[in-house]
């Protein structure tokens, strides 16, 4: 197998729930991507993305949770060096790398790391920045979230997602062009060759600068039966929170609860995603919500490794996770202290 001298590294970025994993799934079916190694960095205590991605093999690596823009910077370098060493030992084979960042990541520090790291820069080269933009939610996100704007600004190519759900995107395209006039805009329903074509050849014209949102810290707060929450950024008040439930859930109750929750608090719930064990079903169901939008649930073919428990991850701002936990337990008739089925 010939090994390219410099392996291209493509950064796949985009705001929370904008469709990065969905796009990655599709791109990995393209023959050009057959030998891609994938690094996934997820924000939140429980990483779900690698479980939602069908292709689980040695070339898919989940990096520890954390904010990629600061704390994980060294981890990206370590993960890439590790992949390179494994390839040198003949343990794996790949000809390109895709890094899926968290939806809250600022891509510049990772780009800087790739350029400046003494080992990385002699083994890897930039394979471009691909930014997913959610046609339903992007306008609001661009107005309120600096990360969303930075991700768009860093793009070599912008992939508009959810155009099937959005109406006219002319205004959004104009807003994107104001932030980043050089990136080509494609839509996620296009073929992989349109989305990836020439991506390696283009380079962002925007100079990376220092991460403007440094100072993130993480303080875990474990509770019984798998509840966690921690702060992503004190000033912005973004919090992740997760729920684990050991016994199967009633699908109708769950659906009503999630719909009501997002209807009422969607502006403060950037993201909810989960893998659920449903009463009467053998296979798990993946659920996704983004702000007020609840996506169609997906029946997964297999349970990922590990216990067959329902797990839900939320990324919130300005809403107390305890409120969500209490309402979930009340609605699902679970004991609020133990999470067990109430008598
Ligand atoms: N209708 C529609 N749904 C989409 C499209 N792209 C993604 N979705 C749905 O949007 C939800 C979120 O997609 P993901 O691919 O998990 O988004 P993500 O950016 O990886 O999410 P995070 O990793 O949490 O930031 C899922 O329910 C997808 O099925 C699209 O083009 N059209």
Predicted confidence pLDDT, tens digits, the chain (343 residues): 555 578 999 999 999 999 998 999 899 888 888 888 888 876 554 455 555 554 445 556 555 444 444 444 567 888 888 888 888 988 888 898 999 888 888 787 777 788 778 888 889 988 889 999 999 999 999 988 888 988 998 888 999 999 999 989 999 999 999 888 878 999 999 988 889 887 865 443 333 333 333 333 333 333 333 333 333 443 346 777 889 999 899 999 999 999 999 988 988 888 888 899 999 999 999 998 888 888 888 888 888 878 899 999 887 888 899 999 999 999 998 887 777 776 5
Strand 285-290 to 293-294 pairing: antiparallel
Mutate to test the pocket of ligand 1, among 11, 13, 18, 19 (most ligand atoms within 8 A of CB): 19
Compute, in angstroms, the gap from residue 288 CA to the centroid of ligand 1. 7
pLDDT number for residue 61:
59
Please provide the distance, in angstroms rounded to a whole number, between the alpha carbons at the two ends of the chain.
61
Residues with CB under 6 A from ligand 1: 14, 16-22, 49, 103, 132, 161-162, 164-165, 188, 271, 273, 288, 295
Compute, in angstroms, the gap from residue 17 CA to the centroid of ligand 1. 5
Pair of tokens at residue 38: 């994938």
pLDDT number for residue 43:
56
- d(CA 330, CA 336) in angstroms, rounded, equals 7
**CB-based burial label for 215 (10 Å; 0-12, 13-18, 19+):** exposed
Pair of tokens at residue 69: 């823009």
- Domain borders along the chain are 7-201, 224-331
- d(CA 36, CA 59) in angstroms, rounded, equals 7
CATH class of residue range 7-201: alpha beta
| pTM to 2 decimal places | 0.74
Compute, in angstroms, the gap from residue 87 CA to the centroid of ligand 1. 31
- d(CA 40, CA 51) in angstroms, rounded, equals 11
Compute, in angstroms, the gap from residue 54 CA to the centroid of ligand 1. 15
Compute, in angstroms, the gap from residue 342 CA to the centroid of ligand 1. 34
DSSP label of 3:
-
- d(CA 115, CA 111) in angstroms, rounded, equals 6
* ipTM value greater than 0.90: yes
Q: Which CATH superfamily is domain 224-331 in?
A: CobW-like, C-terminal domain (3.30.1220.10)
- d(CA 233, CA 237) in angstroms, rounded, equals 6
């Amino acid at each position: 197998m010939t090994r390219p001298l410099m392996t291209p590294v493509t950064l796949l970025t985009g705001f929370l729930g904008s469709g990065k994993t969905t796009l990655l799934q599709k791109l990995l079916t393209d023959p050009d991507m057959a030998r891609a190694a994938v690094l996934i960095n997820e924000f939140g205590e429980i990483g779900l993305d690698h479980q939602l991605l069908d292709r689980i093999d040695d070339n898919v690596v989940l990096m520890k949770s954390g904010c990629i823009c600061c704390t994980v910077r060294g981890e990206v370098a370590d993960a890439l060096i590790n992949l390179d060493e494994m390839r040198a030992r003949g343990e794996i084979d790949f000809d390109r790398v895709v890094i899926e960042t968290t939806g809250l990541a600022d891509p510049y520090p990772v780009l800087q790391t790739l350029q400046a790291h003494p080992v990385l820069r002699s083994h890897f080269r930039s394979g471009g920045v691909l930014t997913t933009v959610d046609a339903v939610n992007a306008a609001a996100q661009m107005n309120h979230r600096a990360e969303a704007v930075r991700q768009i600004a860093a793009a070599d190519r912008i992939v508009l997602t959810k155009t099937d759900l959005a109406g006219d995107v002319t205004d959004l395209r104009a807003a994107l062009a104001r932030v980043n006039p050089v990136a080509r805009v494609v839509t996620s329903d296009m073929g992989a060759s349109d989305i990836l074509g020439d991506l390696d050849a283009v380079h962002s014209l925007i100079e990376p600068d220092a991460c403007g949102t440094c100072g993130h810290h993480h303080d875990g707060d474990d509770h019984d039966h798998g509840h966690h929450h921690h702060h992503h950024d004190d000033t912005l008040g973004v919090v992740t929170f997760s729920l684990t439930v050991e016994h199967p859930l009633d699908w109708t109750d769950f659906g009503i609860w999630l719909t009501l929750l997002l209807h009422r608090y969607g502006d403060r719930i950037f993201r909810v995603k989960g893998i659920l064990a449903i009463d009467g079903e053998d296979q798990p169901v993946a659920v996704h919500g983004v702000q007020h939008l609840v996506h169609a649930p997906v029946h997964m073919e297999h349970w990922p490794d590990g216990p067959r428990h329902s797990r839900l991850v939320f990324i919130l701002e300005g809403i107390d996770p305890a409120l969500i936990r209490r309402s979930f337990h009340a609605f699902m008739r679970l004991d609020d202290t133990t999470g067990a089925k109430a008598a």
